Each structure stands twice: as C-alpha cells, then as structure tokens.
Amino acid sequence: MKIIYGVNKIKKFKKPVAAIGVFDGVHRGHKEILESAVRKAREIKGTSIAVTFWPHPQKEESVYSLEHRLRLIAELGIDVCVVINFSRHFARIKAQDFIKDILVDKICAEYIYVGRNFKFGKNTGGNLALLNNLGKIYGFKVRSLNIIKARGRPISSTLIRSLIRRGKIEEAQRLLCRPVSILGTVIKGTALGRILGFPTANIDPHQEVIPAAGIYAVRIILGHNKLKGACYIGTRPTIGRENKRTNVEAHIFNFNKNIYGKYLEIQFVKRIRLDKKFANLTSLSKQIRKDVSTVKKILN
C-alpha cells in the first residue's frame, strides 16, 4: 500500500474509489467500508484509496497509533492511503469545500464509500444527504454502508476504546474481528523480573490505548517470530514505587535474546487476574509462577 501524507502530494489515480473515515481501530464496521471499496476498485480495474485523518478529529485518544492503523488498512487490500493532518486550519474547511477541493479536484473520486453516519467539514456540518447532492453535481457515486451492531449496540471506536481500558479484551476482540494488540519498542527496565526468575521485556507503547491493569495471556509478534507469553500491566505496587506511570512488561516463554530497541506487537488473549499488592517479593514470585502456569494452559 502506498501512503501519501498530505493532500498536496496526491497525484492522479486510475478510476479512484475512495473510502473516507478516521478508521480508528479498523473495526468490523470500518472493514466493511474499506473492503467494499477494494472490491469495487477491482471490479472496475481502478484504484482503492483510503482517506483517513490524524490526529483524531474529536481529540480522542486513538485506539491505535497511526502506524498501527495504516498497517491494518494495508492488510485489507487498499492500494493507496491518504493521511490528512487534522490541523486547526483543516478543521475550519467547510463541508462542500472538503469534497470539492480534495475528493473531486485532488483525488478525482468516481466512487465514495462511507458509513451511514458519516459527518464531515467544519463543525461536522456535512452529512450523507449533502454528500449525495454533491455527488450529483460533481459526478461521483456515493455508497453508504449500514452501521454494524453487536448485541444491539452500534460498533464504534468509542465503545472499543472503553472495553480495552476496562480490560474486557474478549468483548473488544469480537468487535474488532481480531486480537486486541499494541505496538511498542522494547526499552531497558529495572531488571526486577529477572531477579524474580521471570525476565521481562519492558515495552514503550506507540500511542496506543493500554488495557486495564492486570496479568494477561498474550501472543507476541517479533519480526517473523510468533511467540507466547504473559504480560503485566500496572504500577508495580509491591515494590513500593507505585506511581501514575503504567508499566507494560512481557515475559516471553522459551526466549532469552537481547531485544532492546526492537519493535514488537503484543496481542492480548485473556486477562487472568487483576493487579494487586503482595506482602513481599517472595509472595509476588510465587504468584507469578502460578500466573505463568495459568497462561500456558490458556495458550496451549
């Protein structure tokens, strides 16, 4: 997938089919929009284009970093992704001007795919009715997709974000249609895990929503390697250094390599318990041993 940062770098595409949205989390509803655009582009031998925005227009914490989002969009078969910087200047562009200046004059879209609740332009003044009217004026076709629901609730990035923050990993996974995961870089820590007999990789997440504190069964993608492990998320209350900083540490099974500075993905499978404060490090070590045993049973 070709990535274009900024509308001024857009070049002419063959029979462009554009899917527009923030696509935060790239959940089931987003996938339906993006995959529909891909199918149409292939049908007419055109170019599928995702138009997305960063940072989040609602100033929300994003489910995934931009890099993570782009990776997931690419996996759906999109040919080109245009990333628009959602600046204060861009936020002041009127709905009609957004369509005319970018979708018509720059991208020259023949088809535009959006969700049924799509809003756009200054103060979200544009809606599906306006988009359809503009399509008649400028000659593009609009395809709107129904909102997908799960257990009676519309699937949304807001709902998924809330579930992840509360540690409801399995519920969030059903809405995403894939594992909840974070991307991050391995950094140096205090080596406490090694002292306790369970060395960990300390992770610096890349602007991702972090699951609630606790112990998780996880799968780890490190380059081309698919590994298993247990992940701790919390403030380390037992060692007396509890603060507001949330630590993310993964104990990788059957693995003993130096991976400082390496880039990895942690896929959360299940939370097995909450974080808690133990009387001493010996008690903590015993509990970690039990946790590792529990996680291995889940993953095997």
Asked if residue 200 belongs to a domain, the reply is: yes
Q: What is the distance in angstroms between the CA of the first residue and the CA of the last residue of the chain?
A: 35
Pairwise CA distance, residues 131 & 116, whole Å: 11
Pairwise CA distance, residues 234 & 214, whole Å: 6
CATH number for 141: 3.40.50.620
- The answer on 146 and 9 residing in a single domain is yes
CATH number for 258: 2.40.30.30
Written as six digits, the tokens of 22 are: 């923030």
- The answer on 19 and 107 residing in a single domain is yes
**Cis before 237? omega within 30:** no
- The answer on 220 and 186 residing in a single domain is yes
Q: Are 270 and 290 in contact (CB under 8 A)?
A: no
Asked if residue 175 belongs to a domain, the reply is: no
Confidence band, pLDDT 50/70/90 cuts, at residue 255: very high
> Tens digit of pLDDT for each residue in 77-108?
999 999 999 999 999 999 999 999 999 999 99
pLDDT value of position 58: 75
pLDDT value of position 241: 60
Beta-bridge partners for 201? 250
Write out the DSSP string of 97-146. HHIIIIIITTS--SEEEEETT--BSGGG-B-HHHHHHHHHHHT-EEEEEP
Asked if residue 77 belongs to a domain, the reply is: yes
- The answer on 237 and 143 residing in a single domain is no
Written as six digits, the tokens of 225 are: 């390697």
Asked if residue 86 belongs to a domain, the reply is: yes
Residue 199 has pLDDT above 70, yes or no: yes
pLDDT value of position 243: 58
Query: Of the candidates 136, 154, 172, which is a domain's last residue?
Result: 154
Asked if residue 174 belongs to a domain, the reply is: no
Asked if residue 261 belongs to a domain, the reply is: yes
Residues 150-173, mean pLDDT to the nearest whole number: 94
- The answer on 189 and 143 residing in a single domain is no
Name the more confident of 142 and 150: 142
- The answer on 124 and 204 residing in a single domain is no
Burial of 64 (0-12, 13-18, 19+ CB in 10 A): buried
Asked if residue 166 belongs to a domain, the reply is: no
Question: Which one, of 246, 248, 192, 194, lies nearest residue 220 by Cα?
Answer: 248
Q: Are 177 and 28 in contact (CB under 8 A)?
A: yes
What is the pTM for the complete model shown? Answer: 0.90
Confidence band, pLDDT 50/70/90 cuts, at residue 237: confident
- The answer on 212 and 125 residing in a single domain is no
- The answer on 184 and 150 residing in a single domain is no
- The answer on 126 and 28 residing in a single domain is yes
- Count of domains forming the chain: 2
- The answer on 240 and 130 residing in a single domain is no
pLDDT value of position 245: 81
The range of the structural domain enclosing residue 56 comes to 2-154
User: E-assigned strands of the chain?
Assistant: 2-5, 16-20, 47-54, 80-85, 111-115, 141-145, 149-150, 153-154, 180-187, 201-205, 214-222, 225-234, 247-252, 263-273
Query: Of the candidates 110, 137, 154, which is a domain's last residue?
Result: 154
- The answer on 124 and 202 residing in a single domain is no
Asked if residue 105 belongs to a domain, the reply is: yes
- The answer on 135 and 94 residing in a single domain is yes
